[in-house]
């Protein structure tokens, strides 16, 4: 039994290579393909800092603010400090 010859229409069409402007050696395809590796690293650092900043804001919003004096007293287990006594009245 003989196999039928492949028809030219069955092969995918290949587009001719585009002509590049003078000074351009090659063009890479894909997302960010023509970006330098330093540019990619800066993008990763930028996106990371945005995510960390968003997490910090979310955590700060989740916890209510506390009075610093009451937090120190609660950690020490002491009563809050008494207010200073007024100065004695001057005698005439």
The backbone torsions φ and ψ at residue 55, rounded to the nearest 5 degrees and listed phi first, read -65, -40
With a pLDDT cut of 70, the percent of the chain lying above it is 63
Q: How do residues 53-80 score in pLDDT, each as one tens digit?
A: 999 999 999 988 877 776 666 666 656 5
Q: How far apart are CA 63 and CA 66, in angstroms?
A: 9
Q: What is the pLDDT of residue 47?
A: 94
């Amino acid at each position: 039994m003989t196999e039928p010859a492949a028809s030219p229409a069955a092969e995918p069409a290949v587009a001719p290579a585009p002509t590049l402007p003078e000074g351009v050696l090659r063009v890479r395809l894909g997302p960010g393909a023509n970006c330098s590796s330093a540019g990619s690293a800066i993008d990763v650092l930028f996106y990371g800092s945005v995510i960390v900043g968003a997490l910090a804001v979310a955590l700060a919003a989740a916890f209510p603010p506390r009075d610093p004096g009451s937090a120190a007293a609660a950690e020490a287990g002491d009563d809050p400090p008494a207010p200073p006594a007024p100065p004695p009245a001057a005698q005439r």
